[in-house]
C-alpha cells in the first residue's frame, strides 16, 4: 500500500494549527509511547509537564501555577467549567459567556448540565459588560472572557469581567487558547497578573508551535485542581485532575521543547512577523475596496463576495469563514508574506474574471 503523506501548510490560511517547531516535532516523536496520566511510571514526561506548567505560569503572571497539558482548548474549557461548577454552591448553576466564545463551551455546558447564558457582544466585537451583567445572578458559577477570539482575534475587557465575576462570587475563566502566545508581547490586560482570573486556557498546539495534542489548562489555586481530582486507587499517584486518562506524552514533550527553543525571544519574533503580515494583508485588502476587520491580533476578517470566495477556494487555498460569512485569514507562523502575496494575486485574477 502506498504511504499516505500529510498535506503541507503551503496553502493553509484559516487554520489555528501550524507547522511545529523542528525541536517540538522531534520531541513528540521521541515521547510518543509515554503517558503523563501515570506520572509515577512515566517520570521523565511528568517532569517535562511540570516545566511546561511553570513556563505557562511565567507567561501569564502566575508565580505558583497549577495546571496540566490538556488534549486541547476544548478539554481545558470543559475543565474550567467543571471546576467552577464543582466549587459553586448553586443548586442550578449557570455560566455567562459572550457570544464570541468558542463552541467548546456549548459542549462543556451540555456535558456538565450547566445553563449556558450567552450575551451579545458590543459593536467592537468584544464582550459587552452590561449585557454580561444582566445575565449574572446568584446561581452564576462561571463568567468567561476570551483573549483572542476565534473569529476576529478580539480581547475582552478581562479586568472588568473579573470584577463582575467577583461581585457574584463566581469564577472568571479566560480563554486564551489561541491568543496566549501573542498577548505577552502586547499591552493588553489579559492574564492572572492583570486581574482576578481563576483559570485559563492557553494552547501550545496553536501559536505555541508544539505538536498536536498540546492544550494548556491553568489555575490560580490548588483548590481548583482539588475540585477536579478523583482518586486513583490502583495507580501509585493518588489522584488525577485531568479529563482524559491515558494521554499524549508527545504533546507534553513537544510543548517543553518548543518552550526551550522559543520562549520568550522566538515567540516575540514570531508575533511581530505575524502581526506585520496581518496588518500588511489587511491594508492590501482594504486598498482593493473590501471591508476589512482590522487585526488586533494576527487575524484578519474580510468581507468577500461569495462568488469570489468560492473562486479563490477553487484554487486550492484552504480557507474558512466567520459565522457572518467573512473570510478569516489566520496569520499563523507558517503564513509568510510570499504566501499572502500569492493569495492576493489569485484573488485579483479571480476578481478580474468574475
Ligand atoms: N478556544 C478558542 C478561542 C479557540 O479558537 C479554539 C479552537 C478552542 C478554544 C478549542 O481548541 P481545540 O480545537 O484545541 O479544542 N479554535 C479553532 C477553531 O475552531 C480550532 C481549529 C484549529 C480549527 C485548526 C481549524 C483548524 O484547522 O476555529
pLDDT digits (tens, 9 = 90+) for 180-231: 999 999 999 999 999 999 999 999 999 999 999 999 999 999 999 999 999 9
The finding on whether 251 has its CB within 6 A of some atom of ligand 1 is: no
How sure is the predictor about 235, in pLDDT bands with cuts at 50, 70 and 90? confident
Order of all β-strands in the sheet with 327-330: 291-293, 299-303, 327-330
C-alpha 64 chain-centroid distance = 21
The finding on whether 73 has its CB within 6 A of some atom of ligand 1 is: yes
What does DSSP say about strands 239-240 and 230-231: parallel, antiparallel, or unpaired?
antiparallel
For ligand 1, the distance from its centroid to the CA atom of residue 103, given in whole angstroms, is 9
d(CA 220, CA 225): 9
Q: Write the secondary structure of the chain as one string of H (helix), E (strand) and C (coil).
A: CCCCCCCCCCCECCCCCCCCCHHHHHHHHHCCCCCCCCCCCCHHHHHHHHHHHHHHHHHCCCCCCEEEEECCHHHHHHHHHHHHHHHCCCCCCEEEEECCCCCHHHHHHHHHCCEEEEECECCCCCECHHHHHCCCCCCEEEEEEEECCCCCCCECCHHHHHHHHHHCCCEEEEECCCHHHCHHHCCCCCCCCCCCCCEEECCCCCCCCCCCCCEEEEECCHHHHHHHCEECCCCCCCEECCCCCCCCHHHHHHHHHHHHHHCCHHHHHHHHHHHHHHHHHHHHHHHCCCEEECCCCCEEEEECCHHHHHHHHHCCCECCECCCCCEEEECCCCCCHHHHHHHHHHHHHHHHHC
How sure is the predictor about 293, in pLDDT bands with cuts at 50, 70 and 90? very high
The finding on whether 180 has its CB within 6 A of some atom of ligand 1 is: no
d(CA 2, CA 112): 44
CA nearest ligand 1 atom 12, residue: 73
Per the CB < 8 A criterion, the answer to whether 302 and 291 are in contact is: yes
Reference 100, options 52, 164, 36, 145; nearest CA is 145
The finding on whether 16 has its CB within 6 A of some atom of ligand 1 is: yes
* Residue whose CB lies within 8 A of the most ligand 1 atoms, among 9, 16, 106, 125, for a mutation test: 16
d(CA 329, CA 332): 9
Percentage above 70 pLDDT, the chain:
100
pLDDT tens, position by position, 167-180: 999 999 999 999 99
Which numeric CATH code is attached to 22-262? 3.40.640.10
- Quote the pLDDT of residue 2: 87
The finding on whether 74 has its CB within 6 A of some atom of ligand 1 is: yes
Q: Where are the domains of the chain?
A: 22-262, 265-353
CA nearest ligand 1 atom 8, residue: 73
d(CA 294, CA 152): 9
The finding on whether 321 has its CB within 6 A of some atom of ligand 1 is: no
Mean pLDDT, rounded, of the chain: 97
For ligand 1, the distance from its centroid to the CA atom of residue 201, given in whole angstroms, is 11
The finding on whether 71 has its CB within 6 A of some atom of ligand 1 is: no
Q: Hey, what's the cell of 320?
A: 474558512
The finding on whether 203 has its CB within 6 A of some atom of ligand 1 is: yes
* Residue whose CB lies within 8 A of the most ligand 1 atoms, among 146, 150, 209, for a mutation test: 150
Q: Hey, what's the cell of 250?
A: 508527545
Mean predicted confidence (pLDDT) in 82-87: 98
For domain 265-353, the CATH class is alpha beta
Inform me whether the pLDDT recorded for 320 exceeds 90: yes
Mean predicted confidence (pLDDT) in 127-141: 98
d(CA 174, CA 18): 23
The finding on whether 151 has its CB within 6 A of some atom of ligand 1 is: no
The finding on whether 72 has its CB within 6 A of some atom of ligand 1 is: yes
How sure is the predictor about 137, in pLDDT bands with cuts at 50, 70 and 90? very high
The finding on whether 85 has its CB within 6 A of some atom of ligand 1 is: no
Task: Check if 22-262 and 265-353 are the same fold.
Answer: no
For ligand 1, the distance from its centroid to the CA atom of residue 134, given in whole angstroms, is 28
CA nearest ligand 1 atom 28, residue: 150
Inform me whether the pLDDT recorded for 107 exceeds 90: yes
Amino acid at each position: 500500500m502506498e504511504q499516505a503523506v500529510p498535506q503541507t501548510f503551503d496553502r493553509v490560511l484559516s487554520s489555528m494549527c501550524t507547522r511545529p517547531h523542528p525541536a517540538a516535532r522531534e520531541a513528540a516523536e521521541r515521547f510518543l509511547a509515554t503517558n503523563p496520566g501515570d506520572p509515577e511510571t512515566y517520570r521523565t514526561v511528568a517532569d517535562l509537564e511540570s516545566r511546561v506548567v511553570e513556563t505557562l505560569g511565567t507567561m501569564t503572571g502566575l508565580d505558583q501555577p497549577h495546571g496540566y497539558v490538556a488534549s486541547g482548548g476544548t478539554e481545558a474549557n470543559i475543565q474550567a467549567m467543571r471546576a467552577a461548577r464543582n466549587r459553586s454552591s448553586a443548586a442550578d448553576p449557570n455560566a455567562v459567556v459572550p457570544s464570541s466564545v468558542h463552541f467548546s463551551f456549548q459542549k462543556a455546558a451540555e456535558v456538565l448540565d450547566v445553563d449556558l447564558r450567552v450575551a451579545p457582544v458590543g459593536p467592537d466585537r468584544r464582550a459587552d459588560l452590561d449585557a454580561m451583567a444582566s445575565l449574572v445572578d446568584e446561581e452564576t458559577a462561571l463568567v468567561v472572557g476570551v483573549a483572542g477570539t476565534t473569529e476576529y482575534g478580539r480581547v475582552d475587557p478581562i479586568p472588568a469581567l473579573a470584577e463582575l465575576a467577583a461581585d457574584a462570587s463566581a469564577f472568571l475563566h479566560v480563554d486564551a487558547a489561541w491568543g496566549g502566545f501573542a498577548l505577552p508581547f502586547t499591552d493588553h490586560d489579559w492574564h492572572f497578573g492583570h486581574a482576578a482570573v481563576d483559570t485559563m486556557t492557553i494552547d501550545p498546539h496553536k501559536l505555541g508551535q508544539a505538536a498536536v495534542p498540546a492544550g494548556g489548562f491553568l489555575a490560580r489555586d490548588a483548590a481548583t485542581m482539588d475540585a477536579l481530582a478523583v482518586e486513583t486507587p490502583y495507580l501509585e499517584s493518588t489522584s488525577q485532575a485531568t479529563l482524559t486518562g491515558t494521554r499524549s506524552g508527545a504533546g507534553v514533550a513537544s510543548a517543553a521543547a518548543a518552550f526551550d527553543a522559543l520562549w520568550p525571544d522566538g515567540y516575540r519574533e514570531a508575533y511581530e512577523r505575524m502581526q506585520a503580515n496581518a496588518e500588511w494583508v489587511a491594508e492590501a485588502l482594504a486598498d482593493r475596496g473590501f471591508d476589512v476587520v482590522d487585526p488586533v491580533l494576527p487575524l484578519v476578517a474580510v468581507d468577500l463576495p461569495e462568488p469570489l470566495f468560492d473562486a479563490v477556494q477553487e484554487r486550492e487555498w484552504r480557507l474558512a469563514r466567520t459565522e457572518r460569512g467573512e473570510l478569516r485569514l489566520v496569520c499563523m507562523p507558517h503564513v509568510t508574506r510570499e504566501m499572502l502575496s500569492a493569495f492576493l494575486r489569485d484573488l485579483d485574477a479571480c476578481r478580474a474574471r468574475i
